[in-house]
Each structure stands twice: as structure tokens, then as C-alpha cells.
């Protein structure tokens, strides 16, 4: 009799333990948060996952330099440049370039150009006069004497342009401005990679976008 009662007690205890274990397992399962498929970081297709500061995933596109995406004029690394083997030579070339644009633009005004061509000529005189002023301040510190006239090539060009008038003159003027500004932009970009002078670098940084804007302007006409 005692043996029977003992067996029944053991069986009841085992049943109670089994129920408690099942309840604990169920509770643990119920507290597990469901997986949100939208919370997983997105892969960018290049094996890299990016997450922003708010915890949301972002897909970073692989792209090249977009600095010219706005349509800015670009330097031609294989195009012609003015002499610039030293900082002094570069400054002299830059000063001559300013004079080329200033004096050819003054000639354009003398020839009576009108409309946008006249506006562009006035802008060339203003912008390149400012460039010359900035360059003189640097050149004086370095004892570099800058030219105050066009180079020999442009003196010949100016003489030929004086023989033109009307649309023929305007066409030649605009073409020459485009050619000159492309060469100047090439020179600025090329010399910036060479010079170690911070003042010269600063000058290039200041005038390069102006020259690029001029080139874009003349290229669009």
C-alpha cells in the first residue's frame, strides 16, 4: 500500500514539473519580437551596407567626380598652355593673358560691338583688370616684374582684327576669347599641380573659376 502511494506521488510530481517547463518555454517564445523585414540594413550591391544617423539604411551609389556636372568648362590636360616652368614665368604668362583679354576687348568696344558681345567685352575688362591687380600684389613681394602689354602673338592677332568689322569682327573676337580662355584654364590647372607657393596657389584658386565661367560663356555662343 505504501509502495503504491509513493509511486502515485512521484508521478504527480513529474507531471507538475513537465507543465511548468512547457509554460516557461511558451512564455519565452511569446516574448521574442517578430523580425521586421524593413529593419534589416540594405546592401548597396557592392558588399557594403550603410546606415544613417537615425538608424535607417541608405544605399550609397558608386559614382565618379561630379564637380563638372553643372556644366562648368573643363581644362584640357593635353591642350596648349602658356609657359609656366617656374612661378615667376607663370605670373608673367598670367599677366600677359590678362592684357590679351583686356586689350582685345577694348578693341571690340572701339569697333562698336553690341548686345551680348558688348556685355562680354565689358566683363572681360572688369574681371581681368581685377585679376591683374591681385597678381601684382603677389609679384611685388617676389620681385617679379609683370608685362603691361599683350604678348607678341596677340599683337599680331589684334592687328589682323582691326581690319575686320561687323559680324566678321564679332565672330573672330568670340572665337579668340574661347581659344585664349581654354589655354589660360589649361595653364592654371597645370601650374597648380607644380607650384609649392601658397600665395600662387591661392591666386589660382581665386581666378580659375572665373576663367572657367568665361570659357563656358564664350563656348555657348
What integer pLDDT is reported at residue 173 of this predicted model? 98
What integer pLDDT is reported at residue 71 of this predicted model? 43
Range of the domain at 154: 87-219
pLDDT along the chain (221 residues), means of 10: 44 46 42 42 38 35 31 82 97 98 98 97 98 98 97 98 98 98 97 97 97 95 81
Q: How many helices (H) and strands (E) does the chain have?
A: 6, 2
The three cell numbers of residue 218 are 564664350
Q: Would you say residue 183 lies in a domain?
A: yes
| Spatial CB neighbours of 69, under 8 Å, sequence gap ≥ 6 | none
Q: Would you say residue 155 lies in a domain?
A: yes
What integer pLDDT is reported at residue 153 of this predicted model? 97
Find the length of the chain.
221
Q: Would you say residue 70 lies in a domain?
A: no
This prediction's pTM: 0.68
Q: Would you say residue 100 lies in a domain?
A: yes
Q: Would you say residue 112 lies in a domain?
A: yes
Neighbours of 203 (CB within 10 A): 24
* Strand (E) or helix (H) holding 58: strand 57-58
What integer pLDDT is reported at residue 73 of this predicted model? 76
Q: Would you say residue 35 lies in a domain?
A: no
What integer pLDDT is reported at residue 49 of this predicted model? 37
β-partners of residue 50 are: 58
Helix, strand, coil share (%) of the chain residues, nearest 5: 65, 5, 35
Q: What is the spatial distance between Cα 39 and Cα 75, in angstroms, rounded to a whole number?
A: 46
CATH of the domain at 174: 1.20.1260.10
What integer pLDDT is reported at residue 72 of this predicted model? 60
Q: Would you say residue 80 lies in a domain?
A: no
Q: How many folded domains does the chain comprise?
A: 1
Q: Would you say residue 79 lies in a domain?
A: no
Amino acid at each position: 500500500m505504501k509502495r503504491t502511494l509513493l509511486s502515485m506521488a512521484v508521478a504527480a510530481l513529474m507531471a507538475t514539473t513537465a507543465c511548468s517547463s512547457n509554460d516557461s518555454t511558451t512564455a519565452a517564445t511569446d516574448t521574442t519580437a517578430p523580425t521586421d523585414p524593413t529593419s534589416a540594413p540594405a546592401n548597396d550591391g557592392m558588399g557594403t551596407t550603410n546606415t544613417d544617423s537615425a538608424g535607417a539604411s541608405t544605399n550609397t551609389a558608386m559614382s565618379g567626380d561630379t564637380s563638372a556636372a553643372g556644366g562648368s568648362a573643363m581644362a584640357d590636360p593635353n591642350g596648349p598652355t602658356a609657359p609656366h616652368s617656374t612661378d615667376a614665368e607663370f605670373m608673367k604668362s598670367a599677366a600677359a593673358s590678362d592684357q590679351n583679354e583686356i586689350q582685345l576687348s577694348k578693341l571690340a568696344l572701339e569697333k562698336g560691338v553690341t548686345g551680348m558681345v558688348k556685355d562680354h567685352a565689358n566683363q572681360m575688362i572688369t574681371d581681368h583688370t581685377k585679376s591683374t591687380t591681385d597678381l601684382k600684389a603677389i609679384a611685388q613681394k617676389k620681385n617679379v616684374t609683370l608685362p603691361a602689354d599683350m604678348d607678341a602673338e596677340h599683337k599680331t592677332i589684334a592687328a589682323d582684327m582691326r581690319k575686320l568689322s561687323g559680324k566678321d569682327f564679332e565672330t573672330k573676337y568670340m572665337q579668340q576669347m574661347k581659344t585664349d580662355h581654354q589655354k589660360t584654364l589649361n595653364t592654371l590647372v597645370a601650374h597648380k599641380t607644380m607650384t609649392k607657393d601658397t600665395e600662387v596657389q591661392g591666386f589660382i584658386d581665386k581666378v580659375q573659376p572665373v576663367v572657367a565661367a568665361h570659357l563656358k560663356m564664350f563656348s555657348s555662343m
